Homo-oligomer: A and B are copies of this chain.
Amino acid sequence: MKKIAVYTSGGDSPGMNACVRAVVRTGIYHNLDVYSIKYGYDGIINGNISKMESHSVSNILQRGGTILKSARSNEFRTKEGRKKAYDQLTKHGIDGLVAIGGDGTFTGAKIFYEEFGIPVVGCPGTIDNDIYGTDYTIGFDTAVNTALEAIDKIRDTAAAHDRVFFVEVMGRDSGYIAVECAIGGGAEVVMVPETITTSKQVSDYLKNLRESKTSSIVVVAEGDEEGDAATIMAKVKSEFVGEEEKKFKVTTLGHIQRGGSPTAKDRLLGSRSGLAAVEGLLNGKFNCMAGIINDQVVYTPFDDCINKNKPLNKDYLRLQEILSI
């Protein structure tokens, strides 16, 4: 292997830049030529490809977002699009790829590898922590801390007015962000897609609680089966009357959870995963993702990353419940 290229794809996450930097510098360390591709799969197709030097990735470690930009590509979903992409890589002499992203990114990479035999290793870049094959994904820790700081602020104003706040956090079909925020933020209730909690249960719980607590926080994962936070709040609120009813408020944290300077953990994870991806390519580990499990690098086939489920640690739900009394 002589020339490798790196790209980011799908939703951006804090720590992607740390990962890009690690790929570039580890490649140079091993005497590879390293290229960057902008705008993910669209960028391969369009030949948006540049040579990277060590200093090209200076001063990006601490920045959110991705300097390589990201995009979702419709053209790459077609055979013709992928052929164009392959031709571009051939033209540039690129014989290895590092793909930073989530499920969708890896699905593209897997098909591309199977069709054209181009070696690819993935790095788990998503805030959702929903990828099998790694304890944490790059960006998750930052997103949790961002959401937690928001919940701390909301707690201030909730306490001042004896309010019940429903706070919606991200995570797609995963309750990881929600449950870690709920424990860290001392939330009274957490609603995640992995378990069934009805609005009725929540209103009953809050009614009991209102004798011992004047304000409460309910954290709702965006993928919860009961609906979004505003919908759930409306249902719960309808079980209360008079002054009580006025105490309900809802806030949806939104895209602030995707940005911001990455935490130490995400910089470390992005760096380790990026280094492992390049060394994986050099050691013939293709069609797989470089994750960290129990503090060790593990290469997991894309097939497993995409198809296997990463279950929520149920101990966390029990912990949240016991500590919110």
Asked whether A70 lies within 8 Å of B160 as measured between CB atoms, the reply is yes
Kindly report which residue of chain B lies nearest to residue A324, judged by CB atoms: B25
| Chain B residue contacts of A114, Cβ below 8 A | none
Kindly report which residue of chain B lies nearest to residue A272, judged by CB atoms: B319
Q: Does A69 contact B (CB under 8 A)?
A: yes
Asked whether A271 lies within 8 Å of B63 as measured between CB atoms, the reply is no
Q: Does A46 contact B (CB under 8 A)?
A: no
Number of interface residues of A (CB under 8 A): 76
Min C-beta distance of A33 to chain B, whole Å: 15
A-B contact pairs, 6 of them (CB 8 A): A26-B323, A59-B155, A154-B256, A157-B255, A251-B255, A252-B252
| Chain B residue contacts of A315, Cβ below 8 A | 272, 297
| Chain B residue contacts of A82, Cβ below 8 A | none
| Chain B residue contacts of A70, Cβ below 8 A | 160-161
| Chain B residue contacts of A186, Cβ below 8 A | 21, 59, 61-62
B-binding segment of A88-96, A231-239, A262-270, A301-309: A262-270
CA distance A145 to B148 in the complex (A): 15
Q: What are the interface flags for A282-325 relative to B under an 8 Å C-beta threshold, 1 for contact and 0 otherwise?
A: 00000000000011010000000000000001011001001101
Q: Does A150 contact B (CB under 8 A)?
A: yes
Asked whether B12 lies within 8 Å of A263 as measured between CB atoms, the reply is no
| Chain B residue contacts of A255, Cβ below 8 A | 153-154, 157, 165, 249, 251
* A-B residue pairs, 7 tightest by C-beta: A153-B259, A156-B259, A64-B156, A65-B156, A12-B160, A251-B254, A184-B267
Asked whether A258 lies within 8 Å of B157 as measured between CB atoms, the reply is yes
CA distance A161 to B263 in the complex (A): 21
Asked whether B180 lies within 8 Å of A264 as measured between CB atoms, the reply is yes
Q: What are the interface flags for A129-149 relative to B under an 8 Å C-beta threshold, 1 for contact and 0 otherwise?
A: 000000100000100111011
| Chain B residue contacts of A48, Cβ below 8 A | none
Asked, given contacts A184-B61, A294-B294, whether A157 binds B259 with beta carbons under 8 Å apart, the answer is yes
Partner of A156, one of B14, B29, B54: B14
Asked whether A161 lies within 8 Å of B12 as measured between CB atoms, the reply is yes
Q: Does A159 contact B (CB under 8 A)?
A: yes
CA distance A272 to B154 in the complex (A): 24
Asked whether A64 lies within 8 Å of B157 as measured between CB atoms, the reply is yes
Asked, given contacts A12-B161, A21-B323, whether A261 binds B183 with beta carbons under 8 Å apart, the answer is no
Asked whether B59 lies within 8 Å of A159 as measured between CB atoms, the reply is yes
Asked whether B144 lies within 8 Å of A323 as measured between CB atoms, the reply is no
Partner of A146, one of B62, B153, B323: B153
Q: Does A152 contact B (CB under 8 A)?
A: yes
Name, among A135, A249, A251, the residue most crowded by chain B CB atoms within 10 Å (CB to CB).
Answer: A251
Q: What are the interface flags for A196-214 relative to B under an 8 Å C-beta threshold, 1 for contact and 0 otherwise?
A: 0000000000000000100
Asked, given contacts A256-B150, A264-B145, whether A156 binds B12 with beta carbons under 8 Å apart, the answer is yes
Q: Does A28 contact B (CB under 8 A)?
A: yes
Q: Does A71 contact B (CB under 8 A)?
A: yes
